[in-house]
Amino acid sequence: MHYRRVYIEGGRYFFTVVTEKRRKIFSEDDNVKRLRAAFKTVMQKRPFVIDAAVVLPDHLHFIWTLPEYDSDYSTRWRLIKSAFTKQYPDKFIVQNANRKKKKQQELWQHRGWEHCLRDERDFQQHIDYIHYNPVKHGLVKRATDWQHSSIHRYIKSGMLDKNWGEGAMDFADDIGYE
């Protein structure tokens, strides 16, 4: 399969990253802490801005803005996944022959989904999608009830009302399914 990735210096991107076999590894707070530590480590050497984020039990959604003269989100994700995996205490029995040969854990699905955000409207719609995602998956009734979300930062800064996302929300068919 040939994937065509869009690399734009200083670009804004929406990402979906999924755990292998949809394992719910981020149900445990210690694993969320390990993920944050992995991000912090990578961001020190390869900075970028996290505009929005949600960490769900079996997948992640992020929006990043890359530095003005940098388009390399792939290396950042590789380093984040690697740093997290090295700190992850449980090791899975590796079934996949290619992964065995490369001595890789079966922790992350190969590849992720990315979408280069086209404009402010696209950016805002994906932020809303990220913040509403725990409700969409039936994990909480209100977006603000999900602990591992940037919605709390948006409310604290006054960008969103504390009751945002309490009702049903509809998204365009192309939002979140990249």
Give the start-to-end residue ranges of the domains of the chain: 12-157
CA distance 81 to 49: 17
List pLDDT tens digits, range 91-150.
655 555 554 455 555 788 877 889 999 999 999 999 999 999 999 999 999 999 999 999
Band of residue 173 on the pLDDT scale cut at 50, 70, 90: confident
Instruction: State the pTM of this model.
Output: 0.89
Q: Which residues contact 35 (CB under 8 A, 6 or more apart)?
A: 26, 55, 60, 80, 84
CA distance 96 to 155: 43
Instruction: Name beta bridge partners: 114.
Output: 15
Q: 12-157: what fold?
A: Alpha-Beta Plaits (3.30.70)
CA distance 151 to 54: 8
Contact 145, 166 (CB under 8 A): no
